[in-house]
Structure 1
């Protein structure tokens, strides 16, 4: 009997470039600066809190679907402290299985077949496929090189009555660009007379450098009324494997998000939520992150001097984009990334992976969320390549 015929919903999508480059790094024994995860542990108070709650009777069963009340209250207090807006812990905050689940649940909740979703690219590779899985139509608007700023005239031209959602990401992955107050004001004016919703991916919110504060949509009264704002405890506490994030949204939007969330993961690890609720009031753990990562950024940029790579500016996040065109003008970015991994022993991600049509500007992305000795070892190999 023949096997059933399967028609793929994403026939053109293969394994994520991050998984591909990580596997290649493992096979080659390369230093992995491709995938965006730290090689150091979460803060000690958080680890101790998790150990405590793992052993606490009653903390091993399902948490409430939207998240533990005490954690949502702590998130509300943190939001008010940072952005001057106190969300309702009961109606406006949903704890999710990482920001990835939150993003997918938002799209599943609000995007109907045929709806258009504006994506500013380069963009995290989840965005487009997740829109398509809902039957939505991704509409890509390129960011302007070399600083990857939004071209708001092009965004305005892309808006139509079919535009259901616009997705923004600041600090930006993969480029580290950040939005300004003027950007948010311009965006508010563009959306003012539309029914377009906004998804603001702010998982790197605590990693903005050079004395510039993070400009959150949460702090913008007009935008937050139509916005889903995503954040990530995994990024904030160096615990990407814990997969805990949250979504801030007005009550009506949160209600739609929760309709989906309850059927995707239902709830997130109970002892982990208790541990996060314990440490979230320890404001120093996130207040100091900008300085922590700026030091890593500055060190890494200093170490890469003399490698022949041209380093683009990094205003936030924990990624460094570099132009390799003078080193290997004959190679595509994917070829160069593979050569660096297999021959030099340093794994990176080609920036074309962040474009739906694999646009190639001869740029690659390094992750500098690594211990100093890891960064120094990678730089030694890159200088030897030179």
Structure 2
């Protein structure tokens, strides 16, 4: 038996969450909320089940949800999406990313990713025979070095993966970054995979600048998003992808012969909720308040709180606390201090290990206050 992913071990997220459960530690590691799902959303899904939406949906996604996504994209970015040709609902954004690699990447194709990188990118590339070209973003600012990007870009570059807002750094791409990206790929055969699952959690004055709002890039871009993140239901596994028709057709083929479709009743419930209850501005302001609460609480601690421009993650520099490698340090936090975080080093492939731990602040205020109390004693 050949293990195509032999170099990859267990997910750092499941590892740290497992340790948190085992030791009864406060879990700020994995990116999921600990507050209740909106009862209105639960009611919407419950009604969809009672209304009989319990069989297969269209493989591309339920009509009602397509309409709501098309409206959401138009209202926020001014893009008119042809749902039948460009939009597909998938069981999670990670699966959509995997399908994009299956559709577009062949053996020997190079794919540029920016590290620290979300852990699903590299395996999805390598399992189809692609070659990962990692470019390092260094703390504390995690700025993109476009000189290095241009050096890495070649005729073999089939795709560039961007994550905006970025997990784990909480960095947001600027207009200047997107301008540089557009200039780089113009006139080439290179695709952009834009992972925008945190699109509605952006604290910058300009707000989220989506690939959807860049007309010159739309025909070469695959944009992925997630209702698991924006509706606080990560376990429901519901995301979507908007891509050119030729790419969409290829992705749908793989989807058709694997999972076929996404949970029908959840699709219908989400569609109803989007139409009647969802407000991205409230989502953003709620998370901004949580970010500010944690930042203020750690102001006089030994931790250096790095800039958090988006997402519900925050990077904490512990270099004034310990010289331990981040994996060892974060495990020690679980064992000795009763709090679980995520080490930064597993997000890099080259062994780079800044003294940084990532926390998730998608938590109740009570949980966040407990975390602040623990962290301030370290």
TM-score, length-normalised on structure 2?
0.98
Whole-angstrom distance in 1 between the partners of 2:372 and 2:51: 45
Q: In terms of mean alpha carbon deviation, does 299-308 or 94-103 score higher?
A: 299-308
Match of 1:375 in 2: 368
Instruction: Give deviations 1:67-114, integer Å, cap 9, x for gaps.
Output: 011111110111000001110011111000110110000011110011
Whole-angstrom distance in 2 between the partners of 1:187 and 1:316: 20
- Pair 1:110 & 2:125 matched: no
Give the CA deviation at 1:368: 0.5
Match of 1:267 in 2: 261
Match of 1:294 in 2: 288
Give the CA deviation at 1:288: 1.3
Whole-angstrom distance in 1 between the partners of 2:275 and 2:80: 15
Whole-angstrom distance in 1 between the partners of 2:178 and 2:332: 40
Whole-angstrom distance in 2 between the partners of 1:252 and 1:344: 52
Q: Is the 8 A contact 1:122 1:174 kept in 2?
A: yes
Give the CA deviation at 1:263: 2.0
Q: In terms of mean alpha carbon deviation, does 238-247 or 275-284 score higher?
A: 275-284
Whole-angstrom distance in 1 between the partners of 2:299 and 2:28: 17
Q: Is the 8 A contact 2:287 2:362 kept in 1?
A: yes
Whole-angstrom distance in 2 between the partners of 1:317 and 1:92: 26
- Pair 1:12 & 2:32 matched: no
- Pair 1:203 & 2:197 matched: yes
Consecutive unaligned residues in structure 2, runs of 5 or more = none
Counting only pairs closer than 5 Å after superposition, residues 354-369 of structure 1 correspond to structure 2 as: 354-369=347-362
Counting only pairs closer than 5 Å after superposition, residues 1-386 of structure 1 correspond to structure 2 as: 6-57=1-52, 59-282=53-276, 284-329=278-323, 331-384=324-377, 386=378
Whole-angstrom distance in 2 between the partners of 1:223 and 1:353: 31
Instruction: Give deviations 1:292-325, integer Å, cap 9, x for gaps.
Output: 1000000011112233011100000000101101
Whole-angstrom distance in 1 between the partners of 2:73 and 2:183: 24
Give the CA deviation at 1:31: 0.4
Q: Is the 8 A contact 2:204 2:310 kept in 1?
A: no
Whole-angstrom distance in 1 between the partners of 2:362 and 2:114: 24
Give the CA deviation at 1:218: 0.7
Give the CA deviation at 1:284: 4.5
Q: In terms of mean alpha carbon deviation, does 6-15 or 100-109 score higher?
A: 6-15
Q: Is the 8 A contact 1:93 1:246 kept in 2?
A: yes
Consecutive unaligned residues in structure 1, runs of 5 or more = 1-5
Q: In terms of mean alpha carbon deviation, does 249-258 or 162-171 score higher?
A: 249-258
Give the CA deviation at 1:44: 2.0
Whole-angstrom distance in 2 between the partners of 1:162 and 1:196: 9
Give the CA deviation at 1:211: 3.2
Give the CA deviation at 1:142: 1.1
TM-score, length-normalised on structure 1?
0.96
Whole-angstrom distance in 1 between the partners of 2:78 and 2:108: 37
Q: Is the 8 A contact 2:161 2:194 kept in 1?
A: yes
Secondary structure, counterpart of 1:218 in structure 2: helix
